A and B are shown apart, each in its own frame.
Chain A
Amino acid sequence: MSGPIRHAVDLAVLGAGPAGGAAALAASRAGLSVALIDENPDAGGQVWRKPVRPAARAATAEPGDALRADLAASGITLLYGRTVWSVGASLDLDMIDAESGRWERVSAGRLVAAGGAHERVVPFPGWTLPGVVGLAGATILLKSHGIAPGRRVLVAGCGPLLFAVAAGLAGAGVEVVGVADLAARSDWLRALPDLLTRPGLLGQGACWMTSLKAAGIPIFFRQALRRAEGATEIARAVIGPVDAHGAPAPGPERTFAVDALCVGHGLVPGSDVTRLLRAPHRFDPLRGGLVPVTDEAGRTGISGLYAVGDGAGLRGAAMAALGGELAGLAAAADAGRLAPDAFAREAERLRRAMARERPFSDRMAGMMRLRPAQVQAIAPETVVCRCEDVTRAEIDAACAAGARDVNQMKQFTRCGMGPCQGRLCGDVAAELLAARVGTREAVGAFTARPPLRPIGFDELMGDFDYADIPIPEPAPL
């Protein structure tokens, strides 16, 4: 029997996006040996994802290029293409190398969890049809793969990604039939003073709006999806007016013939590792939902475990990089490798930089936050849990039958029991239950368990053979 390939380091960083990358570099420069692990083939996370096709490669440098170059030159053990399926109480990480299928284990004793966020889509009838993709998913297709999800596309949801995706699609020659924004035009105007604190990013937004206007793409403010229709793929998307809380409002519906729909209602922090390790969490609607409780340097309630980036609460890429750097330095300081006064100086510098980013970051998080009235308006027959096809009516029935937290509801209905492990439905299901039970704190979150990602039994077992089972000597008679 051959065990895992072992890596022993001072610090493991899980997730190589802006937060994890910065944490790894800061800790490495402070003298710690570091392993940086990511499921993707290269660093950058989703926001700074490396274009894989020549067609998608921009002539100018990508924002992730500097990070990738710094990491490549750093001496950090770079474990890309690894699927981490378990994190033990001693913070050992077990992973599978996608390329070779080999089992690897990183032992560090200190771990920075930087898993990032994933898409939230508030369910509507037809959202499971092929051709319906997430806004973040559409961004990946456009920026990384250089392809569009369809030829005639509606973009709907909330937040800045709406306009980024619509402009990206238009630039790729796709017919964008419209953008439906949950927010009102006045919501964006009210956001302007905060957005002006980051002129570069505001300018990028202005560029998107200009290209939408030039392409004649209509923007429907305070409108949301009513349903998507089609037999085996999406054929039509229907939008209608909503009120300031996201609930459907009276008014005419509009129907668009489309072959793709890009939709997203903000992002949800990926808290699977911190939940798996039973770190204390709290509910923070501005930060996307359930987030680990941390101090300003990302220290969680578990000794040696740090949580940074959007996975620790939505703040965006700029804040993620600063928070990641601070956590990397904190790990070095906690390991006794960075003097307390040197750490305090660096922390003060980063604190000031974060204060400059905060107005923009908070405003963007606010534009993407969940609108509870939108969740309450989900029709009974609508599928909420895609993996197990569990409807809103079934979740309500479980609640009526006595389910008082999301795990009881999961046992009653199988909602959250499928291969995505509740990542897609968890936030909305908790919101549905909370409306009946009381608070999000009371209904809790799905219990995280290994394997964190579905893996094959043979991968789990490695080269194990029955001959490897140690059989104790029989007891003497």
Chain B
Amino acid sequence: MRITVDGVEWRVEPGEILSAALLARGRRALRVSPRRGAPRGAFCMMGICQECAVTVDGRIRRACVTMVRDGMVVTLQGAGPAAAPRPGAARS
């Protein structure tokens, strides 16, 4: 089956968990933290930490408890310098 990740089509196996599919293809930085804009990736793999939150078909989903589906459209929040911290988030 196929899924789209940030506009690129990937072939994935039925039964794969999205976080594992991302990791297996080298996509480890999944989002940035809202306050510092620091890169984050999947951490607990069991639905607790929320670090692997990505957008799946327009909704925020935890990649580690999301099974891949044919035609799924995944958008990563984008890690790295391009991502700006949340406005007004820097607290003294």
Contacts and interface: CB of A to CB of B under 8 A. Distances in A.
Interface string A57-87: 0000000000000000000000000000000
Contact of B38 (A128, A136, A418): A128
B46 A46 contact: yes
Interface in B24-58: 24, 28-30, 33-36, 38-51, 53
Interface in A349-403: 383, 386-389
B45 A140 contact: yes
B90 to A, nearest CB: 10
A53 B46 contact: no
A30 B20 CA distance: 40
A389 B20 contact: no
Given A39-B47, A53-B13, A389 B42 contact: no
Given A137-B43, A232-B39, A423-B48, A386 B28 contact: no
B17 interface: yes
A40 B67 CA distance: 10
Interface residue tally of chain A, by bracket?
Answer: 35 or more
Given A40-B65, A419-B53, A129 B39 contact: yes
A130 B41 contact: yes
Contacts of A133: 42-45
B23 interface: yes
Contacts of A39: 47, 65
Task: Name the prevailing secondary structure of the A interface residues.
Answer: loop
A386 B41 contact: no
A275 B1 CA distance: 42
Interface residues of B, number: 37
A424 interface: yes
| Best-surrounded residue of A130, A138, A145, A270 (most CB of chain B within 10 A) | A130
Contacts of B24: 147
B70 interface: no
B16 interface: yes
Interface string B4-16: 0000000001011
A175 interface: no
Interface in A446-477: 453-454, 456
A141 interface: yes
A136 B28 contact: no
Contacts of B13: 53
B49 A386 contact: yes
Contacts of A118: 44, 46, 48
A41 interface: yes
24 contacts: A52-B15, A52-B16, A98-B65, A118-B48, A119-B44, A130-B28, A130-B30, A130-B40, A130-B41, A131-B28, A131-B41, A132-B43, A133-B42, A133-B44, A136-B45, A140-B46, A141-B20, A141-B45, A144-B17, A147-B23, A233-B39, A386-B51, A389-B33, A419-B50
The 4 A-B residue pairs whose C-beta atoms are closest, nearest first, are A130-B41, A137-B45, A145-B20, A389-B35
Interface of B: 13, 15-17, 20, 23-24, 28-30, 33-36, 38-51, 53, 59-60, 65-67, 79-80, 91
